Amino acid sequence: MIFVAAGTQDGRELAGLILGQGYEVTASVVSEYGEELLRCYSGIKVNNKAMDEAGFVEYFTQHNVKCFVDASHPYAANISTNAMKACEQCGVPYIRYERTMSRLDYDKAYYVDSVEAAAQRAGELGRHVFLTTGSRSLPIFARAQALKGCEVVCRILPEAQVVREARELGFTPDRIVAMQGPFSKELNRELFLKYNAEVVVTKNSGSLGGADTKFAAVKELGLPLVVIDRPQVAYTNMTDSFAGVLAFIEAIIAKG
């Protein structure tokens, strides 16, 4: 069985592709929405429980996992680290699918290495801050001293629990944009204008994650952009293509 950490669009597509090659596949997601999106792949198995290193070890042992394909979000470093440690313990081959980063040549782009640093830099650059970093980092932005007195708008998924959590953190309805991406350059531009953005905060999630169109809209408006860099992870094996993942799996199966 091939285990795929499939919490992203390309992760789900990759899991479906591997399934289509005739392999038994379990796709791992941590949200009900992610599980719903996998239903289009007939015959795929789904694991919907978050796992730490011990959880991975237990699952690998019980389900005879032959290969772990890590197509988790580029910023989900903990998942990758725990999975690699578990793979090493269990002798399970590991391959990371890493989507390519978008390149930005812009003199108002400010790169930082953490959410905390992003909050600090955003507070220095403008009073009206537009967050496009997802919901997981909202607690840090909501409590950042550097953003006290700022008007902070968050763009998050239109899921009831996600919106509820944003409200509990103090984001009022007029500062919550609950929409499903990806977004075009034009829509990004109009949203930034509507909410009087003076600075935009993002992650470099690649073109599939909508980074390209955000970058283009920000440049067109001349706004400062705070970019949270991807975590630095020393992956055991890595490829930036679906073909590379399939070749890795085929080589493993061929070895028996």
Please say whether the beta carbons of 38 and 46 come within 8 A. yes
Domain boundaries along the sequence of the chain? 2-99+232-255, 109-228
Q: Is 109-228 the same fold as 2-99+232-255? A: yes
Compute the Cα dihedral for 119, 234, 1, 249 and give only its sign.
Answer: positive
The enclosing H or E element of 128 equals strand 128-131
The fold of the 109-228 domain, in CATH, is Rossmann fold (3.40.50)
Q: What is the pLDDT of residue 207?
A: 54
Buried b (16+ CB within 10 A) or exposed e, 184-193: ebeebbebbe
Q: What is the pLDDT of residue 211?
A: 80
What is the model's pTM?
0.77
Q: What is the pLDDT of residue 142?
A: 96
Question: Residue 45's CB: how many other CB atoms inside 10 A?
Answer: 16
Burial label for 232, CB within 10 Å (0-12, 13-18, 19+), is exposed
Q: Which ranges of the chain would DSSP assign to H, the alpha helix? A: 9-20, 32-37, 53-63, 77-90, 115-125, 138-143, 160-168, 185-194, 211-221, 242-255
Q: What is the pLDDT of residue 206?
A: 61
Q: What is the pLDDT of residue 208?
A: 55
Q: What is the CATH number of domain 2-99+232-255?
A: 3.40.50.720
Quote the CA–CA distance of 121 and 119 in Å, as a whole number.
6
Residues of the chain with pLDDT under 70: 102-103, 206-210, 256
Quote the CA–CA distance of 167 and 165 in Å, as a whole number.
5
